[in-house]
Amino acid sequence: MNEFIEWVSQPWPWYVAGPLIGLTVPALLILGNKTFGISSSLRHVCAMCVPAGIPFFTYNWKKEIWNLLFVIGILIGGFVATSYLSNPEIIKISEATQSDLAALGITDYSSLLPVEIFSWQNLFTAKGLVFFVIGGFLVGFGTRYAGGCTSGHAIMGISSLQWPSLVATIFFMIGGFLMTHLLLEPLMKIVGF
């Protein structure tokens, strides 16, 4: 059993992890005629909790309970992986990326998320306001405006040959490149990083 846990806790190569993620799409389609996507689960939660009367949330959310169970499974899997199967080694990052991150004040690579950004101390600061509140709003707004999240469009949409998903994924990538190479450094200076 220890050998299995040691094997599972090692970083998996792209040629194993990628096909496993990719096989989720046909499995959902074949087994239950369901489509892969995570952002729709927030709509289902809101439909459960928000009083009726808002047209966007007025639908039979109980038919989509499988999606909520899928997300709960992802959360449980993430907890199990980080609590019991995490690799104790420092995350390996290229020297060029380390120097770029160091210029932004990020030097701690002991966890999956940079502690200098993602910590309880930063939650109620200007940094936290930008990263968590404004960033969260923009992600939510963009997801709704684009008709789905990056995983839904890139994994499900492209694999089912949907032209709008290809266009959305291309623009997700362009937006990421623009943010990384043009906007990140000035934004970090504005919020005091």
Is 157 buried (19+), middle (13-18) or exposed (0-12) by CB count in 10 A?
buried
72 CB contacts (<8 Å, ≥6 apart)? Answer: none
Sequence spans of domains, the chain = 1-86, 117-193
pTM over 0.75: no
Over the stretch 145-175, which tens digit does the pLDDT of each residue have? 878 888 788 888 888 888 988 998 999 899 8
Show pLDDT as tens, one digit a residue, over the chain (193 residues). 678 777 777 777 889 888 888 888 888 888 888 887 788 888 888 888 876 678 878 888 888 888 889 889 989 988 888 888 777 777 778 898 888 888 877 888 777 778 887 888 887 887 777 778 888 888 888 887 878 888 788 888 888 888 988 998 999 899 889 988 888 777 777 766 6
